[in-house]
Amino acid sequence: MGKATIQYLLTGILFAALWASASSAGKFGLQSAEGLVLFSYRFIIAGLVLLTYSLLVQRDRFPVGKEWVQLLVFALFNTALYLGVFIVALEEVTAGITTIALALNPLLISSMTSLWTRRPITLIEWLSLLIGIVGVVLAAYPLLQNSHATLLGLILLGSCMVFYSFGSVYYATVPWKLSRTAINGWQVFIGGLMLIPFAVFFHSKENQFDFRFWFSIGWLVLPVSVGAVQLWLYLLKTDAVRASLWLFLCPIFGLLYAAWLLAEPVTLYTIAGLLLVLLALILGQRPVVPKANKA
């Protein structure tokens, strides 16, 4: 196993671990503030942090011409529409259904990538997608026993999965000239601004900007919006189909975090689901041949 392969695998695992932590951090923050308010603050602050580093330390230039349009499209689908609709959908759908829906992202990303770029998906990759979905469904099975979902909730949930998948594939296919830090900074900042109208429209309770709120924001900004998203953008530019398979690990990590932080039980379903997801990753990531990434 070469150095590049080990680096790629460690990047994927670290991405999944950090990305999944957003769920637990968000649960703490939601005890103090509305979801859309929490995420608006998260993305605007994360954008300011990233752009400060990009412009002052890396000396990156400002976007020009059509780059603004590309950033607006990416921010709209990857952040504003995805999370804006997702937060609303959570009011209509319980956790088990949400976990299953998240497992569809790799399938959607792979299918869109194949159609958009004519990148063929091998039989092994289709098999790994199927095994990964089964693994997530199995791990989330205990959550499904008391689940409910309205038709509106399912439509909204399906829509936000499509938005996120489209945003991921769009990023992977654009020949960016900006650095990854600049792209991430601009898209989360613009996405955060786009969420403000959602937050105002759906405002229904008082928000408390206490320690719990700011601790949650701190975690969501640095390890998640800065760390995890930077890793995700790297994985997408390497290979969008293989990158999508790492999303299968996120629900598994999420269940493990819930067991550790919120004392939720780890069941045989969790363990069996984890094993299937690992099998899916082993199948889908072989051989891993990363392409050079200068973004």
| Token pair of 261 as six digits | 């932080």
Helix 211-219 with 3-29: angle, nearest 10 deg: 160
The answer to the question of residue 199 being in a domain is yes
The answer to the question of residue 294 being in a domain is no
Task: Give 291's pLDDT tier (boundaries 50, 70, 90).
Answer: very low
If you search the block for the tokens 């020949």, which residue do you land on?
A: 175
Kindly report, residue by residue over 70-109, the tens digit of the pLDDT: 999 999 999 999 988 888 887 787 766 777 777 788 889 9
Whether the pLDDT of residue 294 is over 70: the answer is: no
The answer to the question of residue 275 being in a domain is yes
Structural Rg of the chain based on CA atoms: 18
Give the C-alpha separation, 252 to 38, whole Å. Answer: 24
The answer to the question of residue 230 being in a domain is yes
Torsional class of 6: left (φ above 0), alpha (ψ -120 to 50), beta (otherwise): alpha
Task: Give 262's pLDDT tier (boundaries 50, 70, 90).
Answer: low
Torsional class of 118: left (φ above 0), alpha (ψ -120 to 50), beta (otherwise): left
Residue 120's pLDDT is: 87
| Token pair of 54 as six digits | 């990009």
The answer to the question of residue 89 being in a domain is yes
The answer to the question of residue 277 being in a domain is yes
188 within 8 A of 225, measured Cβ to Cβ: yes
Give the C-alpha separation, 255 to 247, whole Å. Answer: 14
Burial 152-168, CB ≥16 within 10 A → b, else e: ebeebbeebbbbbbbbb
Give the C-alpha separation, 62 to 64, whole Å. Answer: 6
One DSSP character per residue, 73-109 reads HHHIIIIIIHHHHHHHHTTTB-HHHHHHHHTTHHHHH
Name the β-bridge partners of 149: 93
Q: Which of 27-31, 127-131, 185-189 has the lowest mean pLDDT?
A: 27-31
Closest CA to 218 of 19, 11, 38: 38
Task: Give 60's pLDDT tier (boundaries 50, 70, 90).
Answer: very high
The answer to the question of residue 46 being in a domain is yes
The answer to the question of residue 290 being in a domain is no
The number of distinct structural domains making up the chain is 1
Task: Give 287's pLDDT tier (boundaries 50, 70, 90).
Answer: low
Which residue segment(s) compose the domain that 224 sits in?
3-284
Q: Torsion angle of alpha carbons 250, 251, 254, 260, nearest 10°?
A: -120
Whether the pLDDT of residue 206 is over 60: the answer is: yes
